[in-house]
């Protein structure tokens, strides 16, 4: 009771605001500071960093609302521009490449990749379908007009794959020691080429061609020992056998049809000859 009386005397001698402040200060000293809600973290769908869910990425400043996601999705494509400041941003469409060239944000020395480079990094002036927009031919570096269809010097075509779903990757081939002999034989060089280069040169060319299909940084031994590659080689061999059997069957049917047709033609000619003889006798 004495404590209540002392509090009442204190309240009578102080303004209401100071009394409330003193009471809140005493309450905080007992209970501690009120908890502050912490924002949950998420993975930015654009650059992949862990960022607070504040509606916008703290790294690339991309917005997380549905309209922003759809706008970014509409601009995604099979072309990538190398940028150390934003190394994990998604690829863009060919139309975006054209627009960036018009804005002079892509120059001849810009490093990019796309369907025409088989997704290997290269300079823009060496990229088919892009170099002519920068005023040079990708093959001979001759000066060309941006709207040219082909190079007037080397006659290289400037066509480009505009499908945003088409990556332009090279074909998947079994590595040496990975596939069956039947599959490797289908991919061997023609006989006239092997006679010129010899067996050693043939093996070297095949090794270089196969090694060029291995992604950078991936050991060849890992690809050779891969069980998935062996399975693909077996399936390819089985498919080749089925195609060969189907082709032989169709060839037999074609010869049978030709034979029947010849018989019908001969019978028709014989009937016509007999009919002519009868009419002449009458």
Please write the tens of the pLDDT for every residue from 10-38.
445 555 567 888 877 887 777 777 666 66
Same domain, 81 and 129: yes
Question: With bands split at pLDDT 50, 70 and 90, how would you rate the model's confidence at 279?
Answer: confident
As a whole number of angstroms, the distance between CA 271 and CA 267 comes to 6
Nearest alpha-carbon partner for 129 in 100, 150, 153:
150
In-domain check, residue 64: no
In-domain check, residue 179: yes
Q: Between the ranges 18-22, 54-58, 106-110, 245-249, where is the mean pLDDT highest? A: 106-110
In-domain check, residue 35: no
Whose tokens are 């973290």? That residue is 41
Contact 207, 156 (CB under 8 A): no
208-260 tens-digit pLDDT: 343 444 444 444 444 444 455 566 677 777 777 887 888 888 888 888 889 88
pLDDT for residue 15: 54
Burial zone of 179 (CB within 10 Å; 0-12 exposed, 13-18 middle, 19+ buried): buried
pLDDT for residue 282: 59
Domain count for the chain, please give it. 2
Contact 220, 175 (CB under 8 A): yes
138-170 tens-digit pLDDT: 999 999 999 888 999 999 999 887 888 888 888
Nearest alpha-carbon partner for 147 in 111, 102, 214:
102
In-domain check, residue 130: yes
In-domain check, residue 211: yes
As a whole number of angstroms, the distance between CA 79 and CA 57 comes to 23
180-204 tens-digit pLDDT: 665 666 655 554 444 444 444 444 4
Signed CA dihedral, 137, 143, 147, 153: sign only: negative
Task: Report helix, strand and coil shares of the chain as percent, to nearest 5.
Answer: 50, 10, 40
In-domain check, residue 1: no
In-domain check, residue 97: yes
Cα→Cα distances 92→8, 46, 109, 169, Å: 72, 12, 18, 16
Residue numbers of the domain that contains 118 = 76-134
Instruction: Show Cβ contacts of residue 127 under 8 Å, excluding neighbours closer than 6 positions.
Output: 112, 114, 116, 117, 138
pLDDT at residue 98 greater than cutoff 90? yes
pLDDT for residue 110: 95
In-domain check, residue 89: yes
Plot region of 42 (φ>0 → left; ψ -120 to 50 → alpha; else → beta) = beta
pTM: 0.50
């Amino acid at each position: 009771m004495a404590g209540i009386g002392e509090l009442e005397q204190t309240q009578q001698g102080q303004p209401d605001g100071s009394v409330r402040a003193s009471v809140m200060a005493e309450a905080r000293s007992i209970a501690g500071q009120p908890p502050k809600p912490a924002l949950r973290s998420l993975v930015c769908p654009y650059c992949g960093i862990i960022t607070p869910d504040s509606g916008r990425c703290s790294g690339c400043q991309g917005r997380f609302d549905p309209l922003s996601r759809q706008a970014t999705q509409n601009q995604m494509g099979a072309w990538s521009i190398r940028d150390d400041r934003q190394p994990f941003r998604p690829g863009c469409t060919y139309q975006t490449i054209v627009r960036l060239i018009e804005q002079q944000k892509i120059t001849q020395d810009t490093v990019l990749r796309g369907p025409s480079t088989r997704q290997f990094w290269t300079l823009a002036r060496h990229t088919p379908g892009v170099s002519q927009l920068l005023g040079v031919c990708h093959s001979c570096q001759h000066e060309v007009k941006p709207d040219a269809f082909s190079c007037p010097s080397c006659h290289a075509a400037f066509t480009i794959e505009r499908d945003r779903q088409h990556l332009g990757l090279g074909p998947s081939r079994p590595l040496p020691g990975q596939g069956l002999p039947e599959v490797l034989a289908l991919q061997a060089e023609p006989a006239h080429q092997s006679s010129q280069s010899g067996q050693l040169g043939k093996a070297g060319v095949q090794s270089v061609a196969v090694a060029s299909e291995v992604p950078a940084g991936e050991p060849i031994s890992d690809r050779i020992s891969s069980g998935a590659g062996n399975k693909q080689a077996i399936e390819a061999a089985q498919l080749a056998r089925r195609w060969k059997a189907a082709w032989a069957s169709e060839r037999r049917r074609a010869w049978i049809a030709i034979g029947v047709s010849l018989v019908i033609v001969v019978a028709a000619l014989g009937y016509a000859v007999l009919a002519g003889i009868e009419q002449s006798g009458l």
